[in-house]
Each structure stands twice: as structure tokens, then as C-alpha cells.
Amino acid sequence: MTLNGLEVFERGTFPKWLKVRQKLDSTDVGDIPAAVAREFSRPEVTNAISSGTRVCLTAGSRGVDQIDKVLKACVSEVRKLGGDPFIIPAMGSHGGATREGQLELLSHYGITPDLMGCEIRASMETVELGSVNGEIPVFFDKIAYEQADIVIPVGRVKPHTDFHGPIESGLMKMIAIGLGKQKGADAFHREGFNRFLTLIPAVGLFTLSHVNMPFGIALVENGYSHLSLIEVVPGPKIIDREPELLKLARQRLGRLPGQQIDILFVDEIGKNISGDGADPNVINRDISGLLEQSELNLTPSIHRVIFRDLTEDTQGNACGVGLGD
């Protein structure tokens, strides 16, 4: 029997309900300092850092699980190798596109000089490295460029909310956009999301050829948004390894079961969960209203989406509320 909403209340006839619990991928990274120490024992790392090497570690704007512990462990391992570490915000124009705003954002995630045990150097100034195809200028954080011997991008690899391809959110995006600060982000977003698939690899490779990045540190989360993988990726291999890590991240991403859902009730949305408030890769809606299901084979089809509240961490930012009904 199929009833519309009004008929349900008029007749007092409700469908049978069954409470279920879904089991998602729960692969866990385990002890974070130990995992970071194992990765830092690799030759790509030990050959790149020695006594006095000035090492710049990056911190993004998203709420990556236990990112404070990851960065603190990285700082510790750099010091063990004799390096001199510091951290910079690598988040494009986030944090209000100001030095103070970006530092405040990092502080919210527990990334402060006292807790990290190293300096956090922040500025919105950039250097222009050149241009790709003579059309899009490539910018890079001035502090990282002038004050570091090597730059180590540290970032989460996961499906992007607004475009899909071999490389989405991850190290290449942080290198191409996050480290470009506001100028780099502005140059990118003027081109539109439809060009990100080609521009991110192109600008990322251009930047890697102009800045010493011997390796990056890729992070992958499980279905519960808990850290499941920490991996050192050699700089020249990021372009090839990241698509493989993206496939892994997509496999571990929490998905809704079934082929069709009449009503999806989402308890909280927020910028710390997704740039679009609720992850379009989970609710199967993007800023245009519906993801291309034929391309990505996304199910279930959801008729109505309800958002109840905002997360505390989003601090009143309701960006993405329009994805709900």
C-alpha cells in the first residue's frame, strides 16, 4: 500500500518500522605516534631531513580526525632527524582570508605553538612561481617558499563534494590551491569546478617542479570519519599514488543502504563535516540538487532530506543548508 503524507495522518495508518544499525568500515590506524614513526623511517624521509634542515609542515582547514596528534608526531620525528620544524596554514582563503583567522581556525583544532612544540608561522603573502599554459598564475605561500628547505604537505585524501575524477581532495589539491593562499584560491575558483580535474594536477605538478617537496603525508579516514591510514608518499609519485588512495577512501566512506529512501533525517550539518555542510557523496545531492548517479553509480535515490541542526564546530555557518528540503 502506498500513501502520501496527508493520507498517512488522516487514516492513522503508519508503515511498520524496524530499527537497524549499519556497520561501516572501521579500519583504524591505531597508535598515531607509532604509525608516524614507521613512515618517517622510510628512506624518502631520512634522506631528505638532516641536521639543521628547515622543515615546513602544512595544516589544512578541514576537521581531519586527530590532525593535531598527527602533526605533533610529525614535529617530533623531524626533530629526531635533526630538522627544525614549523607549521603553516595551507587553506587557501579559508579563515576569512586573514592571518589571524587562519591561526584561529588551527587553534580550534588544537594546533597551537604550545601544543605542537614548534612555531606556527602564518601570512597571506605569496610568491608567484609562474603560470600554467600561460593562462593561470601559480602562487605559493611566501613563508614556506623563503623560510623552508623542504615543504611537507600533510592532508586527507577523500572524494570532493563538487567534482569527480582521478584526483579530488588530497595532497595535490593542497599543493595547488591550499598553499596558494587567497590569491591561488581565487585564481582557481574563477575557472569553475569543471576545470578542476585538469587544473589541479597541472598546477600541482608545476608547483612540485619549483618547490622542494620530497614527500607528502597522506591521510585516509574510515566510514566513521576516524583515521585509518597514514602514508608517506614520495613527491614524484603523488600524482600516481593519490588516485589509488582516493579509491581506498571512496571504498571506506560511509554509504547509505538500499536503492530508495523516502525521508533522510540528518541530525547535524557543518563545515567541519563537509564544505557543503552535509557530504554530497553520502546524501547523493550536490549544489545542483542531484549528483550524476549514472556516472558514479550512487544509490540510494533520496526523495526528501531534512537537516535538524548545525554542529557546534561550524560556529553558525549554515553553508549547504539549501541541499535539504
Going along the chain from its start, the domains and CATH numbers come out as 32-252 (3.40.50.11440), 256-323 (no CATH)
Res 13: pLDDT? 67
- β-strand pairing of 227-234 with 84-89: unpaired
Mutual angle of helices 196-210 and 181-189, in 10-degree steps? 150
Task: Give the pLDDT of residue 194.
Answer: 79
pLDDT of residue 20: 87
Bridge-partner residues for 2, per DSSP?
none
The C-alpha atoms of residue 312 and residue 322 are separated, in whole angstroms, by 19
Judge residue 54's burial from the number of C-beta atoms within 10 Å of its C-beta, 0-12 exposed, 13-18 middle, 19 or more buried.
middle
Cell 611566501 appears where?
142
Q: What confidence score (pLDDT) does residue 79 get?
A: 98
* Residue pair 123/179 in contact by the 8 Å Cβ criterion: no
For residue 201, say if its preceding peptide bond is cis, omega within 30 degrees of 0: no
Amino acid at 14: F
Chunk the chain into consecutive blocks of 10 residues (it has 325) and report each block's average pLDDT, rounded to whole numbers: 57 76 94 98 97 96 91 98 97 87 92 97 95 90 97 95 87 95 89 85 96 98 96 97 97 90 92 85 73 58 92 88 90
pTM over 0.85: yes
pLDDT value at position 8?
Answer: 57
At what angle are helices 238-252 and 196-210 packed, to 10 degrees? 130
Phi and psi for 220 in degrees, rounded to 5? -130, 135
User: So what's the pLDDT on residue 12?
Assistant: 63
